[in-house]
Amino acid sequence: MREKLSEEFCADTQQPGYYADGGGLYLNVKPDGRKYWCFRWRDRQIRYTTPKSSGVGKLREKGLGRYGKYDVTLAEARELAGGCRKMLRQGQDPIQQGRQASSNGISQPIDSPTFGECVARYINAHQSAWRNEKQAQQWSSTLNQYAAELLTLPVAVIDAEHVLKCLKPIWTLKTETATRVRQRIESVLDWAAECHWRHGANPARWRGHLDSVLPRPTRLKESKPRAALHYRKMSTLMIKLRSVDSLAARALELQILTATRPGDVVTAQWSEFGLKGALWTIPARRFKTNHEHTVPLSPPALELLKNLRRSSEYVFPGRSGCVGMTTAAGMKLLKQLQPGITQQGFRKTFRDWAVNQSVYPAEVIAHALGPQSKDMAAAAYLRSDLIAKRVRLMRDWAIFCEASDS
């Protein structure tokens, strides 16, 4: 869906009328200058009877609140419109849902924003500290899809029944997603409580509350390790991989040689590489520990990079050249060369080899796979002897990848 409005336009426009943002969301500017948000859709259950409009659903409109910095912002309005679209997909009437909430004694206090408004404000307040923009999009999309029933409710009145209504349909079918939804609802409600918009215990908390109603996620779905190639078969795969002349093949090869994640390779930029020093410095924002990761480059990894054509700031650019290529290209290639394994599994292959075939300490192996806990990482990376050992470790790994199977 292409969003058309901007905060600047919404703030500046004074011409009366309806202005579409997309997806049914409109800014309604009144003749006296007041501005309101509304959601408009065609109700196919209520049809016009005039010959000219025969078969066309009736245009209906639900108010979403007054526009303004201290009322409903553009981002908050988009969240609320998303909730209305979700209701329509489920066969529910957004207007009727609001009336039903009122008839059940749910009335919005003057100083209590809706859950959807709180979601937008929470994301706006926290996204600068998140690792990337994608995290904000994931927050918005998961709550918009799985917690749509909450978006139009005043945050002050949300209780356990409302939360369970969102979680129960997906708890056993999409356990991992449901767990994230619960955690995000809990975070938003905690934030709203800190803003004094609600009181009492958090109805989305797990320990001592929902854990007595819902089965534990660990009992519903056991986590399965990523399908990985046995390290003794690595050289055979590398021969196949190097016979393929494509950017996806080179990205997969670099991922194997550096024991990094697929996403780190396809988003890598040339500015991260110090080819003279044979180091790749992955920015801290890509890791939960918020520490950068320095990867020693073995001679084969250096040779690979030096032979690549620099047509973009990205080492492995996508078609447009403005962003990195997707991990889907590597997945597709791997299915052709070695069905049954995953890109993420190569890190396990490296770890298994390092533990079983090398003499390097566990600390060196662990840091080769990425930054460790916050209290250990800063000190560990300052130790030159650790870096030196990791240089030798990655060199030995590259040699093993080219060795004969045994």
195-205 pLDDT per residue, tens: 888 888 899 99
Dist CA 392 CA 368 (whole Å): 11
How many angstroms separate the first and last alpha carbons of the chain? 54
Number of domains in the chain: 2
* 361 and 243 in a common domain: yes
Q: What is the mean pLDDT of the chain?
A: 83
Read off the pLDDT band of 98 (50, 70, 90): low
Read off the pLDDT band of 79 (50, 70, 90): confident
Domain boundary among 223, 245, 275: 223
316-328 pLDDT per residue, tens: 998 877 888 888 8
pLDDT on residue 86: 85
* 254 and 197 in a common domain: no
170-181 pLDDT per residue, tens: 998 888 899 999
Q: Which of 119, 148, 150, 153 is nearest to 136 (CA)?
A: 119
Say if 318 falls within a structural domain: yes
* 163 and 212 in a common domain: yes
pLDDT at 99 over 90: no
Q: Please state, for a pLDDT cut of 90, what percent of the chain lies above it.
A: 39
| Residue range of the domain that includes 201 | 106-223
Q: Please state, for a pLDDT cut of 70, what percent of the chain lies above it.
A: 85
β-strands 273-274, 17-22: how paired? unpaired
Within 8 A by CB and 6+ apart from 247, the residues are 316, 325, 329
pLDDT on residue 110: 39
Q: From start to end of 222-266, where are the E strands?
A: none
pLDDT on residue 295: 93
* 238 and 208 in a common domain: no
**Residues 3-18: what's their mean pLDDT?**
88
95 versus 241: the higher-pLDDT residue is 241
Strands laid side by side in the 293-296 sheet: 273-274, 279-282, 293-296
pTM over 0.75: no
* 302 and 203 in a common domain: no
Place of tokens 């939804």: 181
What DSSP state is assigned to residue 59?
E
Dist CA 355 CA 357 (whole Å): 6
Domain boundary among 157, 190, 223: 223
101 versus 76: the higher-pLDDT residue is 76
CATH code for position 329: 1.10.443.10
**Three-class DSSP category at 210:** helix
For 37, the token pair is 């948000």
Domain boundary among 223, 256, 281: 223
